[in-house]
Structure 1
């Protein structure tokens, strides 16, 4: 009986071997499936984490670009306002320095390529603060420009009034500096063969028509050489004119061009009269009978006149 049992044990053991193998295979298969699922799940989590990190990086880049754009706009505005204010109010220097200092801090933050979201958030807050200061600064400039506009209008009015007064004073001074001739005499002179001169009233004997006059004292006219223009009007109403006497054209105070017969220069001393100014008119031909009139001009103004009649 015992021999039979001993012979049957190996046979039963051999029958159990396939079951063990299948169990092992099943365990290995489950393990492979577990590892495969775990690996896929881990890969999915890695992809998800990678996408999340990439999204964060993209967000940071977008925020940085947006901040840089806003900062550039704020900086440009500040540069414009600082330039504008340089002409308006030196008292705003402190505000300008604060904005420029804040501008440098923001620039430093944005220039850091490793800046995180927290630092960029800080930069955003500073940009908002900078924009607020810029708005206040701009409002103050507008106020100053308005005040300056009022002052400018007042200055324009004052300048016009001043210029008008100056113009009037110049005109008054110019008129006041015009010389005045007095004691005007016209002497027809006959020159004898012996060189002596004799006054005559006969036209055919006149060799020189001599004009004498005084220049009165003038307290405005400056000392120096002054030009006097004499117009001698003949009996026929024409202005006597010869090239030898330097006849030509002169401009009156009204801007008109008129002929003159002869020009005389005198030396004037301020506040002193000039006595016995002598001007000789030498005629190329004979003097006609009739009335001769003399007009004396200074600075374009008629300052005296006289006449003489030749028979």
Structure 2
């Protein structure tokens, strides 16, 4: 507070040609200087808190700095008022009006900053609600998949029991061909076994879910994630990232004739993870303010999936690139993340 008062008083004395302590005898100057120093003190404390180690990692901090132009402009306006009132003869009532106006300017600055911080908090809560909803949805789908596997297992066990009895009866006949019968059973049965695409269980879960979706919708789904290593990411971030990427890919591929999705995760130079998803797309996607717009007709909230993807990528200091190739009608999303940086941050 002492520093901010000195910052106000010293330049003020030089510009206005006052002695350093002339404000002691002039209540008008004293009040204006107090308002300016308190406004400067408020901005200083806000800046320290906003750009602390915790807050500086947030993307909102980059845009918050633009608000500093408001208090700077307010301080310049206050200085101008004092300068005019000092060198030109004005009555006391006019000075009182200027003091009231400057106090209102100070309160207006505080209100604007308060509303800005409140908006940021609301947006963060809203994003967290969406993530919680998405995680809940994925959990429900997971248990639905387990239920389906259990039902298939019951049916399989029931059918195997009957086939074993048939094999037993065939074995009692000399002219029966048991080996041919067994071969036919193996070809007819499609057992739903758990598939391990990589070593990460969450990646396997999300990938297998969309494998089943693509299978039902006759989408050619190519998977190349055997060496995927996303252990440096939190499970809910992996779910939010891959689920939204694959959901957007499926949504786009369903609208095309030659339906395909290519999904790959690889590691280069032992620490740079590249996530790449290419899918068929019959037209160039639409963007609003840099956000990919959903092509669903009934979509009530456009761009939530893309914003969620960007949030996760920014959280891990990654790079996101989305391109549309009009020659091949292919839309490609590529994400690059340096896993070494994440591991060092966690340490």
Q: TM-score, normalized by length of structure 2? A: 0.26
Q: Which has the higher strand share?
A: 1
Q: Which is greater in Rg?
A: 1
Q: Which has the higher helix share?
A: 2
Name the structure, 1 or 2, with higher relative contact order (CA <8 Å, separation 6+).
1
